[in-house]
Structure 1
Amino acid sequence: MGILMVNALMMASPYGLGSTDAPDASALDRTIEGIIQTLMVGKFYLMFSFLFGYSFTLQLASAERDGASAVPRQLRRSLGLFVLGALHAVLLYIGDILMTYAVLGLVLIAVRNCSARVALRAARILYGCLSALLLLVGLASLLMSDGEAAEPDTESATSLAGLVADYRGDAASVVQANINQLPDMLLATTLLSGFVFAAFLTGLHCGKRRLLADTGSHRTRIRRICVIGAAIGLPGSLFMALAVSGPLNPRWAFPGEMVGTVTAPALTAAYVCGALLLMETVPGARIAALFAPAGRMALTNYLSQSLVMALVFTGYGLALYDRLSPAVVILGALVLYALQLALSTHLMSRHRYGPVEWLLRAVTLARFPHHHDRPPTTR
Structure 2
Amino acid sequence: MTTTTATPRYLELDAMRGFAVMGILLMNIVGFAMPEMAYFSPAVYGGTDTPDIIVWALSFIFVDGKMRGLFTLLFGASMMLVVERAEANSQNPAKVHFSRMFWLALFGLAHFFFLWFGDILFLYAVVGCVAYFMVGLPSETLFRRALLLYVIGIVAFGAMMGSLLYLQYQAGQPGASAFVIAQYQDAIADFRVDDAAIAAEVSLYQSGFSSIFMDKIANSLFQPLSGIAFSFMETLPLMMIGMALYKDGFFSGSWERARYKNWGTKFTLIGILLLVPMVIFQIRSDFEILRVLNVNFSWTGPSLLLMTIGYACLLILLIRKYSNASWLHRVAAAGRVAFSNYLGTSIAMTFIFYGWGLGYFGQINRATLYLLVLGTWINMLLWSKPWLMRYRYGPLEWLWRSLARLEVQKMRID
* TM-score normalised to structure 2 length: 0.82
- Identify the match of residue 243 of structure 2 among 194, 200, 204: 204
Q: Using the alignment, how far apart are the partners of 1:252 and 1:286 within structure 2? A: 45
User: Is the contact made by 2:162 and 2:294 (CA closer than 8 Å) also made in structure 1?
Assistant: yes
1:46-66 deviations in Å (ceiling 9; x for gaps): 111101111111101111121
Q: Using the alignment, how far apart are the partners of 2:46 and 2:383 within structure 1? A: 38
- Identify the match of residue 252 of structure 1 among 291, 307, 310: 291
- How far apart are residue 41 of structure 1 and its match? 1.0
Alpha carbons of 1:341 and 1:182: their partners in 2 closer, same or farther (altered >3 Å)? farther
Q: Using the alignment, how far apart are the partners of 2:412 and 2:31 within structure 1? A: 40
Is residue 123 of structure 1 aligned with residue 161 of structure 2?
A: no
Other-structure match for 2:18: none
Other-structure match for 1:49: 72
Q: Which has the larger radius of gyration?
A: 2
Q: Using the alignment, how far apart are the partners of 1:48 and 1:79 within structure 2? A: 19
Structural mapping, 1:78-227, within 5 Å? 78-143=101-166, 144-145=168-169, 156-179=194-217, 180-183=219-222, 186-215=225-254, 217-227=255-265
Q: Using the alignment, how far apart are the partners of 2:317 and 2:46 within structure 1? A: 43
Q: Using the alignment, how far apart are the partners of 1:188 and 1:79 within structure 2? A: 17
Q: Using the alignment, how far apart are the partners of 1:338 and 1:181 within structure 2? A: 34
RMSD of aligned alpha carbons: 2.7
Alpha carbons of 1:76 and 1:175: their partners in 2 closer, same or farther (altered >3 Å)? same
1:16-55 deviations in Å (ceiling 9; x for gaps): 3344622854222222122212211111111111011111
Gaps of 5+ in 1: 374-379
- How far apart are residue 312 of structure 1 and its match? 0.7
1:145-176 deviations in Å (ceiling 9; x for gaps): 39859999878543332221111111101212
Gaps of 5+ in 2: 1-21, 173-183
Which segment is superposed worse, 89-98 or 359-368?
A: 359-368
Alpha carbons of 1:302 and 1:113: their partners in 2 closer, same or farther (altered >3 Å)? same
Is residue 37 of structure 1 aligned with residue 60 of structure 2?
A: yes
Other-structure match for 1:232: 270
- Identify the match of residue 360 of structure 2 among 298, 304, 320: 320
Is residue 276 of structure 1 aligned with residue 300 of structure 2?
A: no
Which amino acid counterpart does residue 145 of structure 1 have in structure 2?
Answer: Y
Q: Using the alignment, how far apart are the partners of 1:197 and 1:154 within structure 2? A: 30
Q: Using the alignment, how far apart are the partners of 1:95 and 1:305 within structure 2? A: 12
Q: Using the alignment, how far apart are the partners of 1:23 and 1:74 within structure 2? A: 42
Q: Using the alignment, how far apart are the partners of 1:94 and 1:275 within structure 2? A: 29
Kindly tell me the number of residue pairs found equivalent between the two proteins: 371
Q: Using the alignment, how far apart are the partners of 1:128 and 1:358 within structure 2? A: 38
1:191-248 deviations in Å (ceiling 9; x for gaps): 2221111111011112223322243x4323222211221122113333444445x343
Which amino acid counterpart does residue 308 of structure 1 have in structure 2?
Answer: A
Percent of aligned pairs sharing the same letter: 23
1:272-294 deviations in Å (ceiling 9; x for gaps): 10011122224885552231110
Q: Using the alignment, how far apart are the partners of 1:194 and 1:361 within structure 2? A: 28
Is residue 355 of structure 1 aligned with residue 395 of structure 2?
A: yes
